[in-house]
Structure 1
Amino acid sequence: MTPEKPRLRDLLRVAAAPNEADQTVPNGLRVAAAYAWRFLVLAAAIGVLIWLVIQLKLIVVPLMVALLVTALLWPVFEAMLRTRMPRWLAIVIAVVGTLAIVAGLLWLVVWQIVREWSEVRDRTLKALDDFQAYLIDGPLHLSSAEIEGYLQQALQFIQEQAELLWSGALAIGTTAGHVLTGAVLAVFILLCILADGAGIWRWALRLFPRTARPGVDAAAHNGWRTVVNYARTQLLVATIDAIGIGLSAFFLGVPLAIPVAVLVFLGSFIPIVGAVVTGALAVFLALVYNGPWIALWMLVAVLIVQQVEGHLLQPLLMGAAVKVHPLAVVLVVAGGAMIAGIPGALFAVPLAAFVNVFAVTISSGSWRTGAPPGGDLIWSTVPRARKGTAG
């Protein structure tokens, strides 16, 4: 009698049945191991990506700066395009106007520093002498050697922290040549994005598989719109902070009110950290130049401005624009500063906002319901990719 051939269904059942070794491993351990090796692969991929970014820092940092400046300029640029203004003229007005504003602010800063520097220096030296005399003759009764030792420790600590902050993995460079090269490259990238952002995005979209292009297009569109909202909102928050603290310093008679306001404006683009550092600088100037009572009022003014920002502007404006929880903002800013110094802290929030919106759009499948609304710079002239068609 001819033996019956095993059927394919029986072979598949035997192959799919768990073997004896699998039965001895708890199910929870198998699940944990599956998560673990996937996590290791993901961590390795992120590590390789960070390593590549570090190696290409002289390109990555100007690119990020150009994208952030583009997001800042986009509301004005879009308004000019809607008036049927030629694109080249809108680019010239936007770029030249931005450079003029920056040059004007720098001129005001230099003008006030040059005007008040000698008086501030003399008052600072006198304040330091008075403070040293207080430490010696006051209740602490410190000796000159002890004061010198404490000052050396404080200066060493400040120097170490400054070096750690400035020597981040993504710092533009330590030489003037690196800074100049990065600035020129950032301006060139900015002009290219404003001139042909749609063409650049069409080329980038073709790098993805054809079936994935509609989802990537919609997710990137939503992410870019979030970055534009972040830049616009952060510009408003930084302006309010600068006006509040700058006017407070001016009315209290604190020197260098304009440089303080400009530093507050620039520092506010680094959430949490920037406002604290620049506010502390204003209080320190008031303490050295005007004495403890004016410094106390300056501290009150800084705290009021920061409380308005933290409890009113950030939750109402930034929360709706970025769609990232405040705790996540703190963590990504800290992580960005640890990895990449000042550039990491500056780009952490917009990058996290973009990744968050991109991932949510892809995972939710909302892009399948239809093409996202147009109007953004990079996507304004991109033909929407449909299923079965090229992007």
Structure 2
Amino acid sequence: MGGRWFPWRAKRKESVQLSAGVTAAPAAEALPSEEQIAQSLPTGVRLGAAWSWRLLLIGAMIAVLIFLIVQLRLIVIPVLVAVLLTALLSPLVNFLHRHRWPRGLSIAVAMVGILALVAGLMVLVITQIARSSSALSERAIESFTQLKQALLDSPLQLTETQINAFLAQVIEAIQQDSQIFISGALSIGSSLGHFVAGLLIALFATLFMLIDGKGIWGWAVRIFPRRARAAVDGAGKAGWTTLGNFVKVQVLVASIDAVGIGLGAALLQVPLAIPIAVLVFLGSFIPIVGAVATGAVAVAIALIYNGWPIALAMLGVVLLVQQIEGHVLQPLIMGTAVKVHPLAVVLVVAAGSMLAGIPGALFAVPVAAVLNVMVHYISSGAWRNTPPLPQPAPSAPLWSTVPQTRPGYRRAVTSTPSAPTQENRRND
């Protein structure tokens, strides 16, 4: 019984304590609630904290998205290339389809045409380089001899023995580090395999986007909640329009740059004028940065093979073309297609190149332009009065010659034939 507890003992103990003058301890004060603590903080602190955790969450989501894109770059880059090709070829396909061409034939003509154009440019560049290889090698030897003589006559007082010793050290360093080159040569097979796989993915994705692009977009929109579908659909269509304008205008600007710099190189008798023009055309798809880099290559080739006077003249041609692009083409043509400030273009291209190299610099501006238009559309609230999205209609067969959306044409009747009319009976 010593371990048992009896209530009368506790009451007796309390009565003894009270009789001895021992008072009970006061009840503990109630702690402030979280709401009271939040109300006691200044308004700026509460707003800063609210913004901070939301920005941290958004930053974490963006970081995860970028990580996934980097990990899946062998798939993401070909798909992005396919989107650009689809935006470029869609007007041609729609034009042919409106003129009673079957849609399958329109798509085939557009894709075969772009492949033939790219293959023709590559064959032309390879032919020009192969035809001028012997003359270029001789000129390179002459340029090296002139550089060596200039070093001998320079105030540095270098001797031929010192120059030869320096060249021997360079060759020895290359031989010692030959393992790097061997490993790089062994990785060519893997890189070539990745390139071929990416090319096939881009071609197949372009084909399916041209065939059923609306169906693919409708499926993507239906992933979102029903209340957000109108905003997503409208924003996507606005972004697609901007992307199409950007691709068409960028092709025009790149063609003008290539013709101007290539023609200047040909008039100045700079070798490899056609390859320089093709390089400028490809580099101009990276706004501002690409044109500057390819122009520098053209000036370097002129300096090596033609000397200082022709190099300065080539630099003048490049600067003239860049001024025309920056003050005429960009404000009048590109400004209507891509409403992004030039400073933002430079920063976006720099960030894209830091994150993903050349592909990042190539896709930075179109991605920024599309996101800018989509965000503005959603924030404007123009989608609130949009009626609910209808169910997507089945795609027309590829052999159909009449587009579904073209007014003035009736679709073929596939229902059960009705009863014969009086006129049909008379004809029978």
Cα separation, 1, equivalents of 2:331 and 2:155: 45
**Aligned with 1:326 (options 321, 332, 342):** 342
Indicate the RMSD between aligned Cα atoms, in angstroms.
2.7
Quick check: 1:70–1:190 contact (8 Å CA) kept in 2?
A: yes
Cα separation, 2, equivalents of 1:381 and 1:204: 22
Residue 131 of structure 1 corresponds to 147
Quick check: 1:198–1:381 contact (8 Å CA) kept in 2?
A: no
Q: How far apart are 1:30 and its partner, in Å?
A: 2.0
Alignment partner of 1:220 is 2:236: yes
**Aligned with 2:254 (options 230, 235, 238):** 238
* Number of equivalenced pairs: 343
Alignment of 1:86-101 (within 5 A): 86-101=102-117
Paired AA for residue 19 in structure 1: Q
Cα separation, 2, equivalents of 1:263 and 1:296: 20
Paired AA for residue 58 in structure 1: L
Residues 75-102 of structure 1: per-residue CA shift (max 9 Å, x gap) = 2222212212211011011000111111
Residue 318 of structure 2 corresponds to 302
**Aligned with 1:209 (options 215, 225, 231):** 225
**Aligned with 1:85 (options 101, 107, 130):** 101
Which consecutive aligned stretches of 4+ in structure 1 deviate over 6 angstroms post-superposition? none
Quick check: 1:219–1:358 contact (8 Å CA) kept in 2?
A: yes
Alignment partner of 1:365 is 2:369: no
Query: TM-score by structure 1 length?
Result: 0.82
Residues 48-91 of structure 1: per-residue CA shift (max 9 Å, x gap) = 00111112111101100100111122222222122122110110
**Aligned with 1:256 (options 272, 280, 305):** 272
Paired AA for residue 63 in structure 1: V
Quick check: 1:230–1:318 contact (8 Å CA) kept in 2?
A: yes
Cα separation, 2, equivalents of 1:68 and 1:381: 25
Cα separation, 2, equivalents of 1:74 and 1:306: 30
Cα separation, 2, equivalents of 1:36 and 1:136: 64
Quick check: 1:254–1:285 contact (8 Å CA) kept in 2?
A: yes
Identity across aligned pairs (percent)? 54
Q: How far apart are 1:381 and its partner, in Å?
A: 7.6
**Aligned with 2:332 (options 312, 316, 334):** 316
Paired AA for residue 80 in structure 1: L
Residue 193 of structure 2 corresponds to 177
Cα separation, 1, equivalents of 2:159 and 2:62: 53
- Residues 20, 337 of structure 1: CA spacing in aligned structure 2 closer, same or farther, 3 A cutoff? closer
Cα separation, 1, equivalents of 2:134 and 2:289: 30
- Please tell me whether Structure 1 or Structure 2 has the larger radius of gyration of its CA atoms: 2
Residues 300-350 of structure 1: per-residue CA shift (max 9 Å, x gap) = 000100111112111221121011111111111100000001110001111
Q: How far apart are 1:135 and its partner, in Å?
A: 2.4
Cα separation, 2, equivalents of 1:127 and 1:41: 58
Does the residue aligned with 2:200 lie in a helix, a strand or coil? helix
Paired AA for residue 36 in structure 2: N
Quick check: 1:245–1:261 contact (8 Å CA) kept in 2?
A: yes
Paired AA for residue 41 in structure 1: L
Cα separation, 2, equivalents of 1:327 and 1:352: 13
Unaligned runs of 5+ in 1: 1-14, 157-172, 372-377, 383-391
